[in-house]
Structure 1
Amino acid sequence: MTTLGFIGLGIMGGPMSGHLAAAGHTVRGYDVHPEAIAKLTAAGGIAATGIADAAADADVVITMLPNHPQVEDVVLGPDGVLAAARPGTLLVDMSTIRPETSVEVASAAAEKGIRVLDAPVSGGQAGAEQAALSIMVGGEEADFAAARPLLEAVGRTIVHVGPHGAGQVVKAANQLVVGGIYGLVAEAIVLMEASGVDAKTGLDVLAGGLAANRILELKRESMVAREFRPGFRIDLHHKDMGIALAAARQADVSLPLTGLVAQLVAAGRSMGYGDLDHSALLKVTEGLSGRAQSQE
């Protein structure tokens, strides 16, 4: 069993750290919200008093943070992970951030003899709670092999996709596809309802044909019912679409549909839907057609 430091115990990190504790690992967890730490201790983990306390004696440190500024502060700060962790420690950053930040973190860690993987996840809150996440990992093959038994405690699809930063590029690709599908499912619902067709019945048919996808499988009923309780908030998807567009600029490629989806997500945020699930892109599409409906 491994001694783990886990920093970031929110909607995703909370259940993930709990699964690792249930698997028999020693998990010292820290979060800026005391109630999040309390949930981990109730699940069998240990409360850390700070970042350094979580990282100092750990074999592996896992971070699950909102964005690159938090990762930079937690990892690179004067009281951060790199300052506290021992040489040989493996740092697995499971946040969704800019690829260039992952590369910068890996470079800074190497100077201190600390190994790094970027391992962002897909699957949302439900995937975290069910230990069914998809995990895309960038870094050295040997470090991926070392981390895999831990990742298997929280995910089902676990793939080494390339060098440092590659995990973040694949996650950006994931998010642009997810956003695009939500936008198209929203348009399908608006079209069917405006044409007098029962959208639930129509989506049931689509889910059984070539248009089948996980979003139709998991979210078609809640979208038709206008239930937008967050599993993954529009605010976070807005951040991720920014990462995708920045990655496209860095790679010198044109992603026109991604740009359009990013604008729809930004519109949802501007319209006050940032705290709703990203399936609330339906509300944006309805608004553009003057067919706004109520939602939860």
Structure 2
Amino acid sequence: MGLIGLGNMGTAIAERLLEAGYPLLVTNRTRGKSAALEVRGAVVASTPRDLAGQVDVILTSLADDDALEAVAADVVASARPRSVLVDVSTVSPGVSARVGSLAGAAAVEYLRAPVSGNPAVVRAGNLTFIVSGAQETLERVEPVLRAIGPTVHHVGDGEQARIVKLAINSMIAGLAQLMAEALVLGESAGVSRAALLDVMGSSAAGAPFVKYKTEPLLRDDFSATFTTALMEKDIDLVLDAADEAGVALPIAREMKRHLRAAIEAGYADDDFIALFLHLRKASGLDEVAAPPASVSEQPEQEVVR
């Protein structure tokens, strides 16, 4: 078993595989990130090419299109025939299709498997996979995926998983903005943040995302599980896919504007729920009082990678 990419998500996935007893070979562009995993039993490969030549299942967890395309070229150059490349990154359907062609030409099987969750979700054993590719290939590696997370949705044979993931992230971005607007409206009228979030979470609008973000909002904790800059990157992918399909996504286009404004205001590296901070400041409510009293604790997780 091999894993390429040891960012926050990749590291959490590696931990799950080691806990499940899988022998694990890892590599990362920044070698220092592998040290803690090496202590836990992982073997460190020097390069993606070195890793791919030694295993039959290769997982990649990478930041963007360019990273996936570069790593995939190295992987298929040395991978064994009929080995499986499973990419869990959030990337464009176009780049993913090119990787699929590259893999096919090298007799490497390919699954698109973007995930729903963050590192806390992974470590809790609750990650969801959105998978497209050959059903037979999925059956070969499904035990590995379920060792990481219990839910696997097979949504098609081609690039459908990429579209589903982008659609979900578009919805999550919109929910974050709607939460920000609701909270600013409430606070402007003297409603406590805790009271509004409590009602919001138990109402018809109480999606799991609302519950996941309640405690961080009550603590004024905007440390990133998924940054504003990364959410803008995903919305750019959504809009590119919409343009290619010739469909109108007016709310996604509006979200691009809100995210760009928040980034320019200095929130690029904060969690994307900092859309609330940006709107609060723009509305003249930027005097931050002591954090409101906590409501019942909720698990901190959301649908992004």
Name the TM-score class by shorter chain: over 0.9
CA distance in 2, matches of 1:112, 1:54: 16
Structure 2 residue runs of 5 or longer lacking an equivalent are 292-305
> Residue deviations 1:168-225, cap 9 Å, x none?
1011001100000000011111000000111211210121120111121111232243
CA distance 1:131–1:293, change in 2 (3 Å): farther
Aligned position for 1:35: 32
Match status 1:241 vs 2:238: no
Identity %: 33
Runs of 4+ in 1 over 4 A off after TM superposition: 293-296
CA distance in 2, matches of 1:124, 1:234: 14
Match status 1:168 vs 2:177: no
> Given the two structures, how large is their TM-score scaled by the length of structure 1?
0.94
Aligned position for 1:14: 11
Question: CA shift at 1:293, angstroms?
Answer: 4.3
**In the alignment, which of 144, 156, 160 is matched to residue 150 of structure 1?**
144
Aligned position for 2:298: none
Aligned position for 2:259: 265
Q: Secondary structure at the match of 1:116?
A: strand
Deviates more, 1:263-272 or 1:253-262: 263-272
Match status 1:229 vs 2:235: no
CA distance in 2, matches of 1:239, 1:216: 22
Aligned pairs for 1:176-191 within 5 A: 176-191=170-185
Q: Secondary structure at the match of 2:110?
A: strand
CA distance in 2, matches of 1:101, 1:131: 29
Aligned position for 1:23: 20
CA distance in 1, matches of 2:72, 2:277: 38
Determine which structure has greater relative contact order: mean sequence separation of CA pairs < 8 Å that are 6+ residues apart, divided by chain length.
2
Structure 1 residue runs of 5 or longer lacking an equivalent are none
Deviates more, 1:54-63 or 1:36-45: 36-45
- The one-letter amino acid paired with 1:44 is G
Aligned position for 2:93: 99
CA distance 1:100–1:198, change in 2 (3 Å): same
> Residue deviations 1:13-40, cap 9 Å, x none?
0010121122121110000122211122
Match status 1:68 vs 2:65: yes
Match status 1:122 vs 2:119: no
Give the alignment's Cα RMSD to 1 decimal: 1.5
Aligned position for 1:44: 41
CA distance in 1, matches of 2:209, 2:192: 19
Question: CA shift at 1:267, angstroms?
Answer: 1.5
> Residue deviations 1:56-103, cap 9 Å, x none?
021100000000100111111xxx101010111100011110011111
CA distance in 1, matches of 2:9, 2:160: 21
- The one-letter amino acid paired with 2:285 is R
> Residue deviations 1:133-189, cap 9 Å, x none?
121011111111112111111123210111221111011001100000000011111
Deviates more, 1:18-27 or 1:219-228: 219-228
Q: Secondary structure at the match of 1:92?
A: strand
**In the alignment, which of 42, 52, 63 is matched to residue 55 of structure 1?**
52
**In the alignment, which of 254, 269, 284 is matched to residue 248 of structure 2?**
254
Aligned position for 2:296: none
> Given the two structures, how large is their TM-score scaled by the length of structure 2?
0.91
Match status 1:219 vs 2:213: yes
- Number of matched residues? 290
